[in-house]
Amino acid sequence: METNCEKDLFKFLPFSSCINPSFWFELNRVKLDDYRLDDDFKNLKGFYSNCSSNDLPPIMNFDYSSFQETNDKTKNGHISTIIINGKIKIFNTINEFNVLDKNKLLDEFGNAIWNDIKTGRALDDPNLLIRFCLIVFANLKSYTFHYWFAFPAITFPLKSYYQLKTNKFTEIFTSEQSNKIIENMTNFQLKNEHHQSFFAIEFETLNVLTVKEAIDRHNLGKRILFGFYDPNSQSNHPGWPLRNYLALLALKCKKTDEEKRNLEVISFRDRYHGGARTLDHSLVILVEVFNISEDEEKVNTIGWERNEKSQLHPRVVNMSGSMNTEKLAESAVSLNLKLMKWRIAPDINLDIIKNQKCLLLGSGTLGCNVARCLMIILNGESKDNHKSIKAAENLKLIYPGVNAKGVVLSIPMPGHYVGDNLRSKVKDDVKQLEQLIKEHDVIFLLMDTRESRWLPTVIAAAEKKLVINSALGFDSYLVMRHGVKTGDPDKDELPKNFQPNQQIPSNHLGCYFCNDIVAPGNSTVDRTLDQQCTVSRPGLSMVASALAVELFANVMQHPLRLQVPSFSSNESISGCEESCLGIVPHQIRGYLHSFSNILPASQAFDKCTACSNEIIQMYKKDGFDFLLKVFNDPTYLEDITGLKELKTALDQTETDFVTELSDSEEFEKF
SS3 447: coil
Q: Taking a C-beta distance cutoff of 8 angstroms, is the pair 637, 643 a contact?
A: yes
**What's the DSSP call for residue 235?**
S
Q: Which of 360-364, 387-391, 662-666 has the lowest mean pLDDT?
A: 662-666
HEC per residue, 393-413: HHHHHHCCCCCCCCCCCCCCC
Q: Is the pLDDT of residue 631 over 70?
A: yes
Q: What is the pLDDT of residues 202-245, one digit of tens each?
A: 999 999 999 999 999 999 999 999 999 999 887 788 999 999 99
The pLDDT value recorded for residue 168 is: 92
CB 360 within 8 A of CB 367: yes
Task: Give 347: exposed, middle or buried? Use CB within 10 Å, 0-12, 13-18, 19+.
Answer: exposed
The strand pair at 476-481 and 587-591 is best described as antiparallel
> CA quadruple 277, 283, 289, 295: dihedral positive or negative?
negative
For residue 75, the model assigns a pLDDT of 44
Nearest-10 Cα torsion for 159, 161, 162, 163: 180
Quick check: 190 pLDDT over 80?
A: yes
Catalytic-labelled residue, pool 533, 576, 608, 611: 533
Task: Kindly state the average pLDDT of the residues 322-336.
Answer: 68
Pairing assessment for the beta strands 260-268 and 224-229 based on DSSP bridges: parallel
- Using alpha carbons only, what angle is made at residue 622 by residues 620 and 625, rounded to the nearest 5 degrees? 130
Strands (E), 241-377: 260-268, 271-273, 276-278, 283-290, 300-304, 315-318, 358-361
Geometric angle at alpha carbon 275, from 269 and 280, rounded to 5°: 30
Coil vs helix vs strand at 641: helix
Nearest to 603 by CA among 587, 584, 616: 587
Over residues 308-332, mean pLDDT:
82
Residues 125-152 as b/e (b if ≥16 CB within 10 A, e otherwise) read bbbbbbbbbbbbbbeeeebbbbbbbbbb
Instruction: Return the closest-CA partner of residue 616 out of 632, 634, 637, 633.
Output: 637
Alpha helix locations (H) across 66-166? 94-99, 102-119, 121-124
Residue 233 makes CB contacts below 8 A (sequence gap 6+) with 52, 53, 54, 55, 56, 269, 281
Query: From its phi and psi, is residue 221 left (phi > 0), alpha (psi between -120 and 50) or beta?
Result: left
Is the predicted pLDDT of residue 71 greater than 90, yes or no? no
303 residue type, one letter: G
356-651 maps to which CATH number? 3.40.50.720
- Measured CA to CA, the distance from residue 269 to residue 266 in angstroms comes to 9
Closest to 548 measured CA to CA, from 467, 475, 443, 470? 470
Q: Residues 6 or more apart from 491 whose CB is under 8 A from it?
A: 507
Fold designation for 161-298: Cytidine Deaminase; domain 2 (3.40.140)
Question: What was the pLDDT predicted at 116?
Answer: 95
Beta-carbon-side half-sphere exposure of residue 100 (alpha carbons within 13 Å):
22
DSSP state of 76: S
Class of domain 8-157+306-320: alpha beta
pLDDT in tens, 489-518: 888 888 887 776 778 899 999 999 998 877
pLDDT band at 525 (very low <50, low <70, confident <90, very high): low
What angle do helix axes 242-252 and 211-219 make, rounded to 10 degrees?
40
Phi, psi of 87 (to 5 degrees): -130, 150
Around Cβ 155, how many Cβ atoms within 10 Å? Answer: 17
Q: Residue 358 and residue 376: Cα distance in Å, rounded?
A: 7
Residue pair 214/208 in contact by the 8 Å Cβ criterion: no
Query: How many other C-beta atoms are found inside a 10 Å radius of the C-beta of residue 118?
Result: 16
- Distance separating alpha carbons of residues 271 and 281, to the nearest angstrom: 7
Q: Are 607 and 642 in contact (CB under 8 A)?
A: yes
The pLDDT of 535-560, averaged and rounded, is 93
Catalytic-residue membership of 576? no
The answer on pLDDT for 562 being more than 50 is yes
Share of the chain above pLDDT 70, in %: 85
Going from the C-alpha of 529 to that of each of 347, 363, 412, 660, the distances in angstroms are 49, 20, 22, 44
For residue 266, pLDDT over 80 is answered with yes
Half-sphere exposure at residue 286, Cβ-oriented, CA atoms within 13 angstroms? 15
pLDDT at 667 (0 to 100): 42
> Cβ neighbours of residue 181 under 8 Å, at least 6 residues apart?
173, 201, 206, 208, 279
Q: Strand ranges (DSSP E) for 140-259?
A: 144-155, 162-168, 198-202, 208-209, 224-229
The predicted model gives 107-115 an average pLDDT of 95
234-248, 481-495, 648-662 — which is least confidently predicted? 648-662
Q: What is the pLDDT of residue 77?
A: 59
- Tell me which of 85 and 275 has the higher pLDDT: 85
Instruction: Dihedral sign for Cα 586, 591, 597, 600, please.
Output: negative
Give pLDDT, residue 544: 96
Statement: residue 35 has pLDDT above 80: yes
Q: Could you tell me if 2 and 165 are in contact, meaning their C-beta atoms sit under 8 angstroms apart?
A: yes
Residue 273 has what pLDDT? 73
* Residue among 463, 465, 447 at smallest CA distance from 520: 447
Average pLDDT over every residue of 90-114: 96
On average, the pLDDT of the chain sits at 86
Secondary structure class of 232 (helix, strand, coil): coil
Q: Report the alpha-carbon distance of residue 140 to residue 320 in Å, rounded.
A: 9
pLDDT tens figures, 342-380: 778 888 888 888 888 999 998 888 988 898 888 643 333
Beta strands in 279-367 (DSSP E): 283-290, 300-304, 315-318, 358-361
Q: What are the extents of the domains in the chain?
A: 8-157+306-320, 161-298, 356-651
Of all residues in the chain, the percent with pLDDT exceeding 90 is 57
Q: Are 464 and 484 in contact (CB under 8 A)?
A: yes
Predicted pLDDT of residue 149: 98
Around Cβ 625, how many Cβ atoms within 10 Å? 9
User: Taking CA 195 as the corner, what is the angle to CA 189 and CA 200, rounded to the nearest 5 degrees?
Assistant: 60
pLDDT of residue 578: 82
Mean pLDDT of 267-274: 83
- 8-157+306-320 matches 161-298 in fold: yes
Pairwise CA distance, residues 194 & 74, whole Å: 10
Predicted confidence at residue 8, as pLDDT, reads 81
